[in-house]
Structure 1
Amino acid sequence: MESHLNSKTLFLVLFFLTFAQTCYGAVLFSSLPQTLLVSASPKEGQVVKAGEDSISMSWGLNQSYERGVDESYKTTKVKLCYAPESQADRGWRKTVDDLSKDKTCQFSIVERPYYSSEKNQSFEWMIETDVPTALYFVRAYAYDSAGNEVAYGHTIALFKVQATSGRHLSLDIAAACFSGFALVSVFGFFFAEKRGRRLMAANN
């Protein structure tokens, strides 16, 4: 009898935990409709450079859906996302169905209010210098008034971002000048010391 009560209690606890998770922000990616069309300028396999190149993109409702399907859409957020190939063996980029735990899209590009009267919105984004080398795609999420994801769309083409080396031409020039000055100084000191020794020997 006691075992039966414990099992029943455990079931009720799990049920309420699941219910609470559903009520308080646990949105599953698999539950979202793909109602947004998203496009980006890089072509399949194209290489773009962080800190140097920009990406043009546009997003909006797929017009094949019935009018009013986007009634709950209040905001759209566009993000840069890791492609599956660049997630392999990298748990910190792992795709998780629970969007509160998902690590696919770690780079925010732009956030805009959603207006059903606008068929498309567009934006040009300079790739930030902290974006690492990897394969990416662009995804847009639609959010409701409570800030929950309610729909999405993403690009099909995968493109590569080449991370910045962290070096700039001006720094390279300065380093070269400093190295040249240091080399001249060493040789100058060497010849001055050698000449001084010769003068001392001649005086003696």
Structure 2
Amino acid sequence: MAISGQFMVLVLVCLAEACYGIITFSSLQRTLMVTASPSPGQVLKAGEDLITVTWSYNQSFPAGTDSAYKTVKVKLCYAPISQVDRAWRKTVDNLAKDKTCQFKIIDKPYDPSNNSFTWTVEKDVPTAIYFIRAYALNSEGHEAAYGQTTSADKTANLFEIQSISGRHMSLDIASACFSAFSVVSLFGFFFLEKRKAKMSQQK
């Protein structure tokens, strides 16, 4: 009996997962020390304010623990208070399905010390409470360790970002001017039509 192509693809995917295994957040060591410039409770504006992030290897771990680290991925993450009743932000232990950290700040080659980056909060970041997390990735691009600016329960050192409202004074002024012009044009049109009709009657 012939085996369909879709079934073969499914088998290959399952074999690949079985060979490498699922990466879970709970299996990672917190070997990175991460700090960020926002103070606890500070409110930042999307598209305007800056965040400076610094990170390094925690030297309290045995030498060589970071030997497999090849790159570091720094991300902006939702705090639990901003995940309530929002399945699209849900925290899942399986990192392939986790939606906690959706905004990339920077990816760069791993260096155990003296890492810093200043990021402008992007315009599409929604209003929410956040923290910052850094992942150390191995040569296969899989998470091998992490560090974050908050506590394990993600309740300390949180900050807020307010999104762009979407309305600007210049747009409101332009809209008002356009509306006024439309009204004047409409009255002008009726006046000309009425005048033409009157002139036609006089002939």
The equivalences for 1:11-90 within 5 A come to 21=17, 23-90=19-86
User: Using the alignment, how far apart are the partners of 2:21 and 2:108 within structure 1?
Assistant: 21
- Select the structure of larger CA radius of gyration: 1
User: Using the alignment, how far apart are the partners of 1:190 and 1:58 within structure 2?
Assistant: 67
Q: Secondary structure at the match of 1:106?
A: strand
What is the aligned-residue RMSD (CA, Å)? 2.8
Deviations 1:27-46 (A, max 9, x none): 11111110111111222122
Deviations 1:134-177 (A, max 9, x none): 11111000001111111100112111111212234443332232
Tell me which amino acid in the other structure corresponds to 2:97: K
Q: Contact between 1:61 and 1:120, CA under 8 Å: does it hold in 2? A: no
User: Using the alignment, how far apart are the partners of 2:144 and 2:65 within structure 1?
Assistant: 11
User: Using the alignment, how far apart are the partners of 2:169 and 2:53 within structure 1?
Assistant: 30
Instruction: Count residues in correspondence.
Output: 184
User: Using the alignment, how far apart are the partners of 2:45 and 2:195 within structure 1?
Assistant: 53
1:131 maps to which of 125, 136, 148: 125
User: Using the alignment, how far apart are the partners of 1:61 and 1:179 within structure 2?
Assistant: 60
Partner of 2:6: none
User: Using the alignment, how far apart are the partners of 2:199 and 2:49 within structure 1?
Assistant: 62
Q: Contact between 2:34 and 2:133, CA under 8 Å: does it hold in 1? A: yes
User: Using the alignment, how far apart are the partners of 1:58 and 1:187 within structure 2?
Assistant: 63
User: Using the alignment, how far apart are the partners of 1:68 and 1:170 within structure 2?
Assistant: 57
Over the matched positions of the two proteins, sequence identity in percent amounts to 61
For normalisation by structure 2, the TM-score amounts to 0.77
Partner of 1:121: 115
1:60 positional shift = 1.4
User: Using the alignment, how far apart are the partners of 2:184 and 2:47 within structure 1?
Assistant: 35
Deviations 1:106-131 (A, max 9, x none): 11111000123xx1211121222222
**In 2 relative to 1, CA 20–198 (structure 1 residues): closer, same or farther, beyond 3 Å?**
closer
Partner of 1:5: none
Unaligned segments of structure 2, at least 5 residues: 1-13, 151-156
User: Using the alignment, how far apart are the partners of 1:190 and 1:20 within structure 2?
Assistant: 74
Task: Verify: 1:152 aligned to 2:146, yes or no.
Answer: yes
Q: Secondary structure at the match of 2:26?
A: helix
Q: Contact between 1:25 and 1:148, CA under 8 Å: does it hold in 2? A: no
Q: Contact between 1:80 and 1:137, CA under 8 Å: does it hold in 2? A: yes
**In 2 relative to 1, CA 53–190 (structure 1 residues): closer, same or farther, beyond 3 Å?**
farther
User: Using the alignment, how far apart are the partners of 2:177 and 2:34 within structure 1?
Assistant: 48
User: Using the alignment, how far apart are the partners of 2:134 and 2:180 within structure 1?
Assistant: 51
